[in-house]
Amino acid sequence: MEQTDENSRNRGGDAHPPVIIKASMQAELVCFNAGCRARFPLTEVIYNCPRCGGLLECGYPGRAVDPPALKRTWRERRMSNAPLDRSGVWRYREMIPFLESYGKVVTLSEGNTPVLDAPHAAAWVGLDQIAFKHQGFNPTGSFKDNGMTCGVAQALRLGMKRVACVSTGNTSASMAAYASAAGLQPFIFIPHGNISYGKLAQALEYGAKTLQVEANFDQILALVRVLAERLGIYLLNSINPFRIEGQKTIMVELMDQRDWNPPDWIVLPGGNLGNTSAFGKALREMLDLGLISRIPRLAVIQAEGAAPFYGLMHSSNRSELPKVEHPETLATAIRIGDPVSWPKALHEVETSGGIVEKVTEQEIADAKAQIGLCGIGCEPASAATLAGIRKLRAAGVIERNADVVAVLTGNLLKDPDYIYRYHTGQLAAPSGQKLESTYGNQPVVVPNDPDRIAEMLA
C-alpha cells in the first residue's frame, strides 16, 4: 500500500533507544482471570482468553527501569520534534513496550492534554481546589485517541488491512481517524435506527465504511466476530488490550505534569470501564517501577440509569455483575448496561481503595453547565465526574482540602444539541421528565434599537 507524504510525516521512526534497564522476558498477552493466567504471544489474534474466555492484558514480566533517568528522558522528549516524542502516548513508550520497533506507529499528536485549575468548579462542589485533566483536547475530541493509536499500531504490526468496531460514539470517530491515517480501511457496525449524529459524522468524514445492521448490539458483536475471522478484520472494540495500554499513558502524563506527586483522588466516568482498568493498571505499574510512591484513590461515576458497576460494588456478591437490561442516560458515552471490562475495573477500584458513585440526569446537566462556566466545557459523560464529586463531598467521603483531579473524557462540541436544550429549558431525561435549566443561559431577542438595547443592558 502506498503511503502519502502526510502519513510518512506522522510515522514514528525509531528515535531513541528505550530506557529500560531489564526486561528479562518478552512482553506477552496474559489472561486477567486470577484462576487462569494463561499466557500467549503478543502476535496471536485473540480478543479473549482461548482457555477460559477471560479478559486479556499486556504483561511485561521482569521489567525494571531507572526512575530518575526515565523521568529525565520523558522531559527531554517534550522538546523533541520527532513525531513519536511529540505524542503524549508514545513519549511514554517505556510504559507500553508491546512493540519491537516504532517505525510503523501512526500518531496524530494525541495526548498532550492540559491539566486545568478550576476554582469556580471547586467552589461549587465545596473543595479548596480541583483540576481537570481534559482529554477532550485530543485530535478527535476524546480519550479514545490515546488508546486507538496503540490499537492501530498493533493492527499494523499484525499485517492487518482492515479494522472494525461496533460503536456509534467516540470509539468509531477515533478508530476511523487513526485507521485512515494509517492507510487501513475502517469498518463501523451500528444498530439500525440508533445513531448519535455528531460522532457518526466524524466517522463518515474520516472515511469509515459504516454498516447499519437490523440487530441489537450483542447480535452485531457476534456477527462482527464471525466476519473478523473470515475476512481478516482486526477488532478494535473496548475489550482490545492494546487500547488499554494506550489509555494508561493518560495517568503517566498526568503524573509527569504534576512532577510525580499523586493526587488524593482521581475521578472519572464509568461506561465500559476500559478507562478505569487502564488508569488502575498504569498506577500500579508506576508504583511497582518506583515512579510514584503511592496510588491515588479512584472514584468512578456512573449515570443512575446505567449503573451496573455501582450495583456490583454495593452488592454482597462481587463475582456477578448485575447487568442493566435497558440502560438509559443522555450521557450516551456511558449508556452501557453490560460493561465488558468490569472484572478489571473491580480489581482496580478495590486495589486503590476507591469508590463508585452514581448521579442523576439533573446532576450531570448542572455539573456540565458549571464546567462550562469555568471556560472549560465538556460532553455530558465527562460532567458526571463533577456531579459525583459534589455528592461525595456532601457525604464527607472526599474532604474539603483533598487534592482532586477529575478526568474530562470528551470535548464540549461532541453534543451541541444537549447544550442548546439545557440552556433553553428544553432538555428532557430519557424517562421523558423535563430537566431544570438551573444554570440556563438563554439567547435573548432584541429590537433593532440602540436605546432599547442599552436600556436592557444597563
Ligand X SMILES: *Cc1c(COP(=O)(O)O)cnc(C)c1O
Q: Which residues bind ligand X (CB under 6 A)?
A: 142, 144, 169-170, 238, 269-276, 333-334, 379, 381-382, 409-410
Residue pair 421/434 in contact (Cβ under 8 Å)? The answer is: no
CB of 407 to ligand X, least distance (A): 9
CB of 240 to ligand X, least distance (A): 12
CB of 92 to ligand X, least distance (A): 19
Q: Left (φ > 0), alpha (ψ -120 to 50) or beta: where does 268 sit?
A: beta
Give 95 or 173: the residue with its C-beta nearer to ligand X.
173
Give 300 or 374: the residue with its C-beta nearer to ligand X.
300
CB of 414 to ligand X, least distance (A): 7
Give 180 or 329: the residue with its C-beta nearer to ligand X.
329
Give 70 or 175: the residue with its C-beta nearer to ligand X.
175
CB of 49 to ligand X, least distance (A): 20
Enumerate residues 6+ apart whose C-beta is below 8 A from 300. 267, 268, 269, 270, 273, 276, 309, 345, 349, 354, 355, 356, 357
**398: its cell numbers:** 472526599
CB of 272 to ligand X, least distance (A): 3
Question: Beta 130-134 vs 115-117: how paired, if at all?
Answer: antiparallel
Rounded-to-integer distance, Cα 47 and Cα 42, Å: 11
CB of 312 to ligand X, least distance (A): 14
H or E stretch at 287: helix 274-288
Strand, coil or helix: what is 418?
A: helix
Give 286 or 334: the residue with its C-beta nearer to ligand X.
334
Give 275 or 329: the residue with its C-beta nearer to ligand X.
275
Rounded-to-integer distance, Cα 434 and Cα 425, Å: 8
Residue nearest to ligand X (CB): 410
Rounded-to-integer distance, Cα 271 and Cα 170, Å: 12
Give 13 or 337: the residue with its C-beta nearer to ligand X.
337
Rounded-to-integer distance, Cα 267 and Cα 359, Å: 13
Give 246 or 296: the residue with its C-beta nearer to ligand X.
246
Number of H helices, E strands in the chain: 16, 15
> Within 10 A of 232 (CB to CB), how many other CB atoms are there?
13
Enumerate residues 6+ apart whose C-beta is below 8 A from 50. 38, 40
CB of 255 to ligand X, least distance (A): 19
